[in-house]
Chain A
Amino acid sequence: MISSLFFLKFNIKRLLGWLFAALLLGALSAFAYTPAPREALRYVREEMPELFLLLGVRGDSNLPAFVLGYLFGALLPLMVSLYAIRANRNLLSRPMEDGRMAMLIASGHRRAAILLTHVAALFLGLVLILLTVFIGQLAAALVFSLNMDLLSFLRMHTGFLCVSLLVAAACLLIALLSADDVQMKRRCRALAFFMLLFLLLSRLMGRWQYVRFLSIWSLFDGRSLAFGSGGFEPALMALIAAVLCVAFSLFVFNRREL
């Protein structure tokens, strides 16, 4: 890793907006479990059961189940997808288009080192976002005196992080395989849209359940992770797939002409 490049590319100022949103999302997801908002949500849920089913809300008997439905069901995957696209555009596709990447390559550093530095900045941003969500939940749980099972939340966040890394790595690979920034944006948006769509559809009854095999997000088995009955295997698969994606990205980047 190249430290000077890492400090240039890991732009904490640019990340502040994301971190603020993550903190808010984490805190709100825990706050919504307090009696008054929970009752209001339950009422809305009874009015529109299909919509809430699609979003992944199954029960609210305890805080992990509640957060799994309202936060990990659709909102957090959406946020991670948007971050992965945005960060990959800023880190890779725009610099490759405007010549900044060519300047970085015309140096005494290997292409692999340059790409791995970008990957480190991308992944660290993602880790910080999910950590901030967790901190937001923890803070809200402390403020509103909620019974928060820390281990359960840590397992959920770890599993979700593995799958999120795969999404970010897939966007990285797409950025390197795309001819320009516009093409990358279109492809990544299509990937994010369909992954989320398949995830939502897989929650419907009958044959729709099989659609989950088409979505990366279904590798996050939040229920098993939260209640300690497994769920690590698919997360590990996601992590291995993310590493393979990065390895293939290195191969592509090494041969890519600018």
Chain B
Amino acid sequence: MIRCENLTREFFGDGVFDISLQVKEGEALGLLGPAGAGKSLLLRILSGQLAAQEGRAAIFGLDCWAKRHVIFKKAVYAPAAPALEPGLTGDEYLKFYAQYHGLFNPQKARDLSEQMDVSLTGLCQKMTIEQRKKLSLLAALSMDAEVFLLDEPMNGLSVMAKNALMDALVAIRGRGGAILMTSHVLEEVRRTCSHVAIIRQGRLVVTQPVESLSHTRQKVYHITFTSPQEAADFASEWESGVELIGTRALVAIPASPGPLLRTLARYDVVDLIGGREEAEEGFLRFYGDEFV
């Protein structure tokens, strides 16, 4: 239902490069990555706000830029920063949203608003950030849509609202909906999604089913070079998953160490320690302190 093929789009120095992914019916893809990795940009392309420079972004087989009005008859987009009409109350906003989009399911909205504890009485402009976020998500998830594009849906929500949201997302998957959501918390993705994709500096590092992620042990290698320059040269050559600490480099790779050893053969290596780690630890190490 959602498909990107070699999608490239530069955007003020950042961007997404050569992204290929797909989300089928009943699947949910969690896009993980640090701030500025290109997650929201990818969703903006898919929601028809930005055009691709190279490659293709399509939903239901239709181009996301040229056919956005057709796609969004059956798709929903919820941005990370909720954009509500300030002069409306929560209830008025929902009514407008329902009339404007046309796929609204009032029963679903009532159930979700209770589960997520969404306030519908006050003016949108006077709501807290969490209330605004919950109202925005409530509006989006109350739609009988087939594709959901959710940018950081869990960010800033209380535990109760998060749990309700996760249940709602699982229910959407259960009835055959496709979800593409971004996050920078692995646990959220693990509980909600069927697949996980890791994006770093605009490039997809890995895409795999969540189950395999929880069973895969990341191999992390501690490499000590003769000088920091040597370590930096190696880091620039080894494109993904390197953390530099002075003369030391930490490399996390899920596959065979063959390519790493062949690359290291060209450098002056003082020490090399190889090991195995659990997925979560490996994932966090993969990005160092960039994650919240």
Instruction: Determine the distance from Cα of A8 to Cα of B96 in the docked complex, in whole angstroms.
Output: 8
B205 CB-CB contact with A under 8 Å: no
> Size of chain B's interface in residues, with CB distance under 8 A?
26
Verify B87–A110 contact, CB threshold 8 A: no
Verify A257–B50 contact, CB threshold 8 A: yes
Identify B47's interface contact among A3, A5, A95, A102, CB under 8 A.
Answer: A102
Q: Which residues between 30 and 57 of chain B lie within 8 Å of chain A, taking CB atoms?
A: 44, 47-51
B110 CB-CB contact with A under 8 Å: no
Verify B68–A105 contact, CB threshold 8 A: yes
Verify A4–B81 contact, CB threshold 8 A: no
Which one, B20-28, B71-79, B169-177, B240-248, is touching chain A?
B71-79
B284 CB-CB contact with A under 8 Å: no
Closest to B84 in A: A100
Verify B73–A257 contact, CB threshold 8 A: no
Verify A108–B69 contact, CB threshold 8 A: yes
B129 CB-CB contact with A under 8 Å: no
Instruction: Determine the distance from Cα of A181 to Cα of B88 in the docked complex, in whole angstroms.
Output: 22
Identify A108's interface contact among B44, B73, B88, B96, CB under 8 A.
Answer: B73
Closest to A108 in B: B73
Q: Closest Cβ of chain A: how far from B42's Cβ, in Å?
A: 14
Instruction: Determine the distance from Cα of A258 to Cα of B84 in the docked complex, in whole angstroms.
Output: 16
Given known contacts A106-B48, A257-B49, A99 and B83 CB-to-CB distance under 8 angstroms: yes
Q: Which residues in A have their C-beta under 8 angstroms from that of B77?
A: 102-103, 106
Verify B79–A103 contact, CB threshold 8 A: yes
Verify A106–B100 contact, CB threshold 8 A: no
A105-146 toward B: CB 8 Å interface, digit per residue (1/0)? 111111100000000000000000000000000000000000
Closest to B98 in A: A4
A11 CB-CB contact with B under 8 Å: yes
Instruction: Determine the distance from Cα of A5 to Cα of B72 in the docked complex, in whole angstroms.
Output: 16
Verify B50–A103 contact, CB threshold 8 A: no
Instruction: Determine the distance from Cα of A134 to Cα of B79 in the docked complex, in whole angstroms.
Output: 45
Closest to A111 in B: B69
Instruction: Determine the distance from Cα of A109 to Cα of B71 in the docked complex, in whole angstroms.
Output: 10
Closest to B87 in A: A11
Verify A4–B96 contact, CB threshold 8 A: yes
Q: Which residues in B have their C-beta under 8 angstroms from that of A75?
A: none
Verify A106–B83 contact, CB threshold 8 A: no
Closest to B69 in A: A110
Q: Which residues in A have their C-beta under 8 angstroms from that of B48?
A: 105-106
- DSSP class of A's interface residues: helix, strand, loop or mixed? helix
Q: Which residues in A have their C-beta under 8 angstroms from that of B79?
A: 99, 102-103
Q: Closest Cβ of chain B: how far from A10's Cβ, in Å?
A: 12
Q: Which residues in A have their C-beta under 8 angstroms from that of B85?
A: 8, 100
A2 CB-CB contact with B under 8 Å: yes
- List the count of A-B residue pairs having beta carbons below 8 Å apart: 61
Closest to A101 in B: B83
Q: Which residues in B have their C-beta under 8 angstroms from that of A8?
A: 85, 88, 96, 100
Q: Closest Cβ of chain A: how far from B214's Cβ, in Å?
A: 33
Closest to B79 in A: A99
Q: Which residues in B have their C-beta under 8 angstroms from that of A4?
A: 96, 99-100
Closest to A114 in B: B69
Verify B83–A107 contact, CB threshold 8 A: no
Q: Which residues in A have their C-beta under 8 angstroms from that of B254?
A: none
Identify A105's interface contact among B49, B73, B87, B96, CB under 8 A.
Answer: B49
Q: Which residues in B have their C-beta under 8 angstroms from that of A149?
A: none
Closest to A109 in B: B69
Q: Which residues in A have their C-beta under 8 angstroms from that of B44?
A: 102, 258
Q: Which residues between 154 and 175 of chain B lie within 8 Å of chain A, taking CB atoms?
A: none
A98 CB-CB contact with B under 8 Å: yes
B106 CB-CB contact with A under 8 Å: no
Q: Which residues in A have their C-beta under 8 angstroms from that of B49?
A: 102, 105-106, 257-258
B206 CB-CB contact with A under 8 Å: no
B101 CB-CB contact with A under 8 Å: yes
Q: Closest Cβ of chain A: how far from B126's Cβ, in Å?
A: 16
B70 CB-CB contact with A under 8 Å: yes
Closest to B136 in A: A103
B257 CB-CB contact with A under 8 Å: no
Q: Which residues in B have their C-beta under 8 angstroms from that of A107?
A: 69, 72, 100-101
Instruction: Determine the distance from Cα of A233 to Cα of B102 in the docked complex, in whole angstroms.
Output: 45
Q: Closest Cβ of chain A: how far from B64's Cβ, in Å?
A: 10
Identify B70's interface contact among A103, A105, A108, CB under 8 A.
Answer: A108
Identify B83's interface contact among A2, A102, A257, CB under 8 A.
Answer: A102
Q: Closest Cβ of chain B: how far from A231's Cβ, in Å?
A: 40
Verify A108–B101 contact, CB threshold 8 A: yes
Q: Closest Cβ of chain B: how far from A98's Cβ, in Å?
A: 6
Instruction: Determine the distance from Cα of A253 to Cα of B131 in the docked complex, in whole angstroms.
Output: 31
Instruction: Determine the distance from Cα of A98 to Cα of B86 in the docked complex, in whole angstroms.
Output: 11
Give 5 A-B pairs besides A95-B83, A107-B69 with Cβ atoms closer than 8 angstroms.
A2-B100, A100-B83, A103-B77, A106-B68, A258-B50
Q: What is B's interface to A at a CB cutoff of 8 Å? A: 44, 47-51, 68-70, 72-73, 75-77, 79, 81, 83-85, 87-88, 96, 99-102
Interchain residue pairs with CB less than 8 A apart (6): A106-B68, A106-B76, A107-B100, A107-B101, A257-B51, A258-B49
